[in-house]
């Protein structure tokens, strides 16, 4: 029993709590020994994609590229000078015909006014732009056209065999329609590769290698931010059970066929593919079997791109698969939510276009896909809000400490409240956008994740409970409930866009960064070194004592788990108790000071209450481990009295108290 409770203790003492007033996950994985492959990630170019996109350049399609991409294009143009006019003409004819078909589909979603401008763009696209400046202006205006135009060719590259053969896929019946439409381009790719790219492919790969190194740093930051938030690690293998026939046996003079079950292990991998010729600001994502591919242009900040969603999908897809039975229980009501959404979107489109058809609304009726999409959208939106909120709180706290008058401090606190609402509104808008694409449970999962952000529980272990707790009736009006928040977020986006800034910025707290660096030491289980650095940090930052004491308590608790000697283990747990008690004393003292300054309702006060709440629950777990359940109940009740403060442990305290009270 003690071992079980101790394991619960370790789980509940979340690293996030240490940063309750700070910025979490700020580039916390830049350590030299961090290996992306341990998290399923490889960063490497793909010669098939290089060959296909290089062949498009022969027709002079002039997609908008990054600065590095433009430099590579200039090199490629030099190499293409020797290309035979016949092959260049064949490529151009194919691409011109496809461009005409694609443009016809693309403009269907444009307003009448935009259609006129698009027609002018197409004319310039075919005949050539008047200047480089004009090309860049139209390239920026119609970057979605270029991205959509190139996308099926990237998909085609992955349907071919590796270089140098580039053979057609053995099966084509299950390929998507946009890929089938251009699959006849494969022979031209092979011809182009044999004449031009084959001799240069290794040289090109070396150029791409420089981009690999930049992307690895960005990938490390992205991976750690997402996995630290989810408290998980992606599943990197599938165990597949396959029945096979074995030699027949005789039983009572009759031959009987027998079967045996083999277990085969399949690897899951996530490839980040740097591509110099990928259109600027575009991400091509493909999921082929157990492999996930994200093709990105140079200079991509992965943490602020769609690659983070792709990696979330890679991480979270197994959860839906492993909980298929639970999802199946809600299959019909989820289908009803999807059908209602499809009808709503159809009526909206019908009001604009009388020829709209219900079957053209691109919402999949698959409930499993809806669950997966919803979970990814929720994790993406909540992680961003959580991170930026902690940074904003940290920044406000430091500003308040530097202010001399109560009026100045109240002004900072009021601004923080505005910033937090802005972040919450942006999350609501992101979830709404995902909802309109079929993620009908995005709001539900966002609430579930918000409630677990400071618990430290691995989402893989808690996802089943999330599914079983689902009440689809409550999700019917979720979208409508956030109408006001959506409008505020749309207006805020417009203001940021007019100012040339699409991101809500925040400032990093130096103490936060040091705590995050120490957290990596704790994760490496170097507890003595972590303790030394935490004590040094405490000496240098006495005004941050509460959360540093919390980190000391967590470090002591985790180190105790590894100790077999009972006496030594108990001494470490006693040290953890003292640290948590210091958190309560220091945070309570800070709270009294804020109260005397009429700042009891400020964000800093909420942060102190959250630390007290979390520390009470951590202490309660230790007393449970010591079988002092009566005292543990009193401690949990002390946490409950604080209330359900943001980032606190109110729900955990209630659950723990009720569990102990039910015991005989």
Most confident of 147-161, 340-354, 618-632: 147-161
Q: In this predicted model, what pLDDT tens digit does every residue of 318-339 receive, in sequence order? A: 999 999 999 999 999 999 999 9
Name, of 30-34, 61-65, 74-78, the range with top average pLDDT: 74-78
- Of 171, 202, 233, the domain-final residue: 202
Amino acid 504: pLDDT: 54
Please work out, in degrees rounded to the nearest 5, the angle formed at the alpha carbon of residue 89 by the alpha carbons of 87 and 92.
Answer: 110
Q: Between 522 and 1, whose confidence is greater?
A: 522
Number of domains in the chain: 3
Is 155 within 8 Å of 181 (Cβ atoms)? no
83 and 187 within one domain: yes
CB 73, CB 280: distance < 8 Å: no
CB 567 within 8 A of CB 602: no
Among the listed residues 282, 284, 255, the one whose alpha carbon sits nearest the alpha carbon of residue 271: 284
Average pLDDT over residues 395-417: 86
Q: Say if strands 269-274 and 291-296 run parallel, antiparallel, or are unpaired.
A: parallel
pLDDT at 249: 59
331, 478: one domain: yes
Q: Are residues 345 and 376 in the same domain?
A: yes
* Burial 274-298, CB ≥16 within 10 A → b, else e: bbbbbbbbbbbbbeeeebbbbbbbb
Identify the weakest region by mean pLDDT among 254-263, 422-431, 578-587.
Answer: 254-263
Mean predicted confidence (pLDDT) in 107-134: 82
Range of the domain at 163: 47-202
More confident residue, 575 or 353: 575
* Distance (Å, whole) CA 498 – CA 11: 45
Residue 481 has pLDDT above 90, yes or no: yes
Q: Which two tokens stand for residue 312?
A: 């979330």
481 and 351 co-located in one domain: yes
Kindly state whether residue 299 falls inside one of the protein's structural domains: no
539 and 491 belong to one structural domain: no
Per the CB < 8 A criterion, the answer to whether 154 and 277 are in contact is no
Dump pLDDT digits (tens) for 503-539.
Answer: 554 445 567 668 877 877 887 788 899 899 998 888 8
Residue 337 in any domain: the answer is: yes
Q: Look at residue 6 and tell me whether its pLDDT is greater than 80.
A: no
Integer-rounded Cα radius of gyration of the chain? 29
- Mean pLDDT for the chain? 84
- Domain shared by 466 and 612, yes or no: no
15 and 54 in a single domain? The answer is: no
187 and 336 fall within a common domain? no
Parallel/antiparallel/unpaired status of strands 41-43 and 269-274: parallel
Side-chain-side CA neighbours of 197 within 13 Å: the count stands at 24
Residue 147 lies in a domain: yes
**What is the pLDDT at residue 564?**
85
Range in 379-383, 445-449, 498-502 with the lowest mean pLDDT: 498-502
Residue 374 contacts residue 341 (beta carbons within 8 Å): no
Name every residue whose Cβ is closer than 8 Å to that of residue 585 and which is 6 or more positions away in sequence.
none
Is 191 among the domain residues?
yes
- Contact of 324 with 368, CB cutoff 8 Å: yes
For the ranges 200-204, 310-314, 525-529, 592-596, the lowest mean pLDDT is seen at: 592-596
CA gap 119, 113 in Å, rounded: 10
563 domain-assigned = yes
Q: Which of 27-36, 308-317, 400-409, 498-507 has the highest mean pLDDT?
A: 308-317
126 vs 254: which has the higher pLDDT: 126
Comparing 658 with 72, which gets the higher pLDDT? Answer: 72
Interval 58-63 mean pLDDT: 87
Domain identity same for 514 and 609: yes
- Asked if the structure places residue 258 within a domain, the reply is no
Q: What share of the chain is helix, strand, coil (3-state, %, to 5)?
A: 70, 5, 25
Judged against a pLDDT cut of 50, whether residue 10 lies above it is answered with no
d(CA 36, CA 552): 29
Q: Cα 44 from chain centroid? A: 20
Instruction: Mark whether 513 and 654 lie in a shared domain.
Output: yes
pLDDT score for 7: 36
Least confident among 85-89, 169-173, 192-196, 470-474: 169-173
Query: Is residue 223 classed as helix, strand or coil in its secondary structure?
Result: helix
Both tokens of residue 246?
């074995």
CB atoms within 10 A of CB 511: 22
Q: Which pLDDT score, from 0 to 100, does residue 23 have?
A: 38
| Residue 94 scores a pLDDT above 70 | yes
- Are residue 477 and residue 558 in the same domain, yes or no? no
Confidence of residue 358 (pLDDT cuts 50, 70, 90): confident
Examine the fold and report which residue of 167, 202, 237 is the final residue of a domain before the chain moves on.
202
Q: Tell me the HSE value of 631 on the side-chain side, using a 13 A CA sphere.
A: 9
Average pLDDT over residues 622-642: 88
Is 133 in the same domain as 113? yes
Q: Cα angle at 297 between 296 and 299, to 5 degrees?
A: 110
Sign of the alpha-carbon torsion through 479, 484, 485, 488: positive
The lowest-confidence range among 15-19, 146-150, 494-498 is 15-19
Handedness of CA 624, 627, 629, 632 (dihedral sign): negative
Residue 148 located in a structural domain: yes
Per cent of the chain over pLDDT 90 is 41
CA atoms within 13 A on the CB side of 105: 10
In a domain, 386, yes or no: yes
Q: In this predicted structure, what is the pLDDT of residue 426?
A: 95
Answer with the one of 150, 179, 202 that is the final residue of a domain.
Answer: 202
């Amino acid at each position: 029993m003690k071992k079980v409770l101790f394991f619960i203790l370790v789980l509940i003492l979340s690293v996030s709590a240490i940063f309750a007033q700070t910025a979490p996950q700020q580039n916390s994985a830049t350590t030299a020994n961090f290996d992306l492959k341990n998290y399923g990630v490889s960063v490497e170019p793909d010669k098939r994609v290089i060959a296909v996109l290089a062949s498009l350049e022969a027709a002079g399609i002039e997609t908008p590229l990054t600065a590095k991409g433009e430099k590579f294009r200039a090199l490629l143009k030099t190499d293409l000078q020797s290309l035979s006019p016949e092959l260049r003409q064949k490529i151009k004819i194919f691409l011109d015909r496809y461009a005409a078909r694609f443009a016809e589909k693309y403009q269907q979603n444009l307003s009448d006014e935009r259609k006129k401008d698009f027609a002018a763009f197409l004319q310039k696209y075919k005949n050539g732009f008047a200047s480089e400046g004009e090309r860049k202006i139209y390239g920026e205006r119609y970057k979605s056209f270029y991205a959509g135009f190139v996308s099926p060719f990237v998909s085609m590259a992955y349907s071919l065999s590796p270089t140098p053969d580039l053979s057609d896929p053995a099966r084509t019946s299950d390929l998507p329609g946009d890929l089938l439409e251009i699959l006849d381009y494969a022979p031209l790719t092979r011809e182009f590769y044999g004449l031009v790219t084959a001799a240069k492919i290794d040289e090109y790969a070396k150029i791409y290698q420089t981009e690999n190194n930049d992307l690895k740093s960005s990938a490390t930051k992205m991976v750690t931010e997402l996995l630290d938030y989810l408290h998980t690690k992606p599943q990197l293998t599938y165990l597949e059970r396959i029945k096979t026939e074995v030699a027949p046996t005789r039983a009572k003079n009759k031959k009987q066929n027998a079967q045996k079950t083999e277990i085969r292990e399949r690897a899951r991998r996530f490839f980040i593919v740097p591509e110099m010729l990928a259109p600027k600001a575009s991400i091509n994502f493909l999921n082929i079997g157990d492999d996930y591919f994200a093709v990105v242009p140079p200079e991509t900040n992965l943490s602020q791109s769609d690659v983070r969603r792709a990696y979330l999908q890679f991480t979270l897809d197994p959860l839906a698969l492993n909980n298929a039975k639970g999802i199946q229980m809600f299959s019909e009501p989820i289908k009803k939510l999807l059908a209602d959404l499809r009808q709503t979107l159809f009526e909206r489109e019908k009001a604009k276009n009388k020829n709209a058809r219900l079957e053209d609304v691109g919402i999949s009726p698959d409930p499993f896909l809806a669950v997966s999409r919803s979970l990814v959208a929720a994790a993406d939106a909540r992680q961003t809000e959580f991170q930026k909120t902690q940074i904003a709180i940290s920044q406000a706290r430091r500003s308040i400490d530097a202010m001399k008058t109560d009026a100045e401090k109240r002004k900072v606190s009021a601004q923080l409240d505005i910033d937090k609402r802005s972040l919450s509104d942006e999350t609501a808008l992101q979830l709404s956008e995902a909802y309109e694409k079929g993620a009908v449970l995005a709001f539900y999962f966002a609430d579930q994740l918000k409630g677990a952000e400071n618990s430290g529980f691995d989402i893989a272990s808690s996802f089943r409970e999330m599914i079983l707790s689902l009440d689809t009736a409550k999700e019917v009006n979720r979208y409508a409930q956030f109408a006001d928040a959506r409008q505020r977020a749309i207006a805020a986006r417009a203001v940021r866009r007019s100012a040339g800034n699409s991101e809500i910025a925040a400032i990093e707290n130096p103490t936060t960064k040091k705590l995050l660096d120490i957290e990596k030491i704790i994760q490496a289980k170097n507890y003595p070194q972590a303790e030394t650095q935490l004590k040094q940090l405490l000496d240098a930052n006495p005004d941050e004592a509460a959360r540093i004491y919390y980190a000391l308590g967590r470090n002591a608790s985790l180190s105790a788990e590894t100790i077999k000697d009972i006496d030594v283990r108990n001494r470490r747990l006693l040290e953890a108790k003292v640290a948590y008690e210091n958190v309560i004393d220091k945070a309570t003292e800070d709270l009294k000071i804020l109260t005397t300054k009429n700042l009891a309702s400020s964000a800093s006060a909420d942060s102190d209450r959250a630390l007290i709440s979390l520390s009470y629950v951590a202490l309660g777990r230790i007393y449970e481990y010591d079988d002092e359940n009566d005292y543990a109940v009193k401690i949990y009740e002390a946490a409950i009295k604080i209330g359900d403060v943001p980032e606190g442990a109110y729900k955990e305290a209630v659950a723990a108290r009720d569990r102990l009270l039910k015991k005989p």
